[in-house]
Amino acid sequence: MGEVTKKRTGQGKFLLGGFLIVAAIVYLIASSTQAAAQYYLTIDELFARGDDLGDRDIKISGVVDGDTIQYDVKNLTLRFTIANVPADLDEIEKAGGLAEALHIALEDPRATRLEVEYIGVMPDLLRDEAQAIVTGRMGEDGIFHADELLLKCPTRYEGDVPLQAEDG
C-alpha cells in the first residue's frame, strides 16, 4: 500500500493503525490455527505414534473396503474398515494416480487396517475403493470413532468405458 508507507508528517497514526490491524489479523490466524489444528495421519502413522497424540482430534485417510461396510439404519451406526494408503504424493504418482494407488492399497494383504465407526447419515459416496477421510478419536476398544466422514472418489471421471451397456 504505497501511499501509506510513504514518509510524511501526520502519516504516523495511519502507519500505526495499519500495523495494529495487520497484527490483529496475524493473531487471529495464529490463534485459530492453534485452536482448530488437526493431525492428518495415515493409518501406519497412527499406529506408530500410538498414545503420544494426546487429546486432539485426528484426521485419518484410508481406502474403504467395500465388503466391510455395515450400516445399521435404525441407529444410524456405520461401520467399515479402511486400509492404509501412503500419503506420499510421489508414491501415489508412481502407482499411476490416486485411483490406482487406492486400488493397490486395498489389494495389499499386508496393508494395515483400521475399523471405523461413525454415527450419522451414510454418505452417498461411500463405496469400495473410495478414499475416506475420517476425523475423530481412537477409542479404547481399538475402533476409531469418527465425528466427520469425508469421501473422495477419484474414479469418478476416470476409468474405462464399459464396452457393453448393462442390461436393464
Footprint on this chain of another protein (rule: CB under 8 A): 1-4, 6, 8, 10-11, 13-14, 17-18, 21-22, 25, 28-29, 31-33, 35-41, 59, 71, 73-76, 87, 97-98, 121-122, 124-125, 127, 131, 135, 148, 152-154, 156-166, 168
- Least Å distance between CB 35 and another protein? 6
- Least Å distance between CB 103 and another protein? 14
Kindly tell me which of 91 and 141 has the beta carbon lying closer to another protein: 91
Answer for the pair 87, 61: CB distance below 8 angstroms, yes or no: yes
Kindly tell me which of 34 and 142 has the beta carbon lying closer to another protein: 34
Rounded Cα–Cα distance for residues 31 and 53 (Å):
20
Kindly tell me which of 73 and 141 has the beta carbon lying closer to another protein: 73
Kindly tell me which of 40 and 47 has the beta carbon lying closer to another protein: 40
Positive or negative torsion for Cα 51, 56, 62, 65: positive
Q: What is the dihedral of CA 154, 88, 115, 143, to 10 degrees?
A: -130
Q: How many CB atoms lie within 10 A of CB 140?
A: 5
21: helix, strand or coil: helix
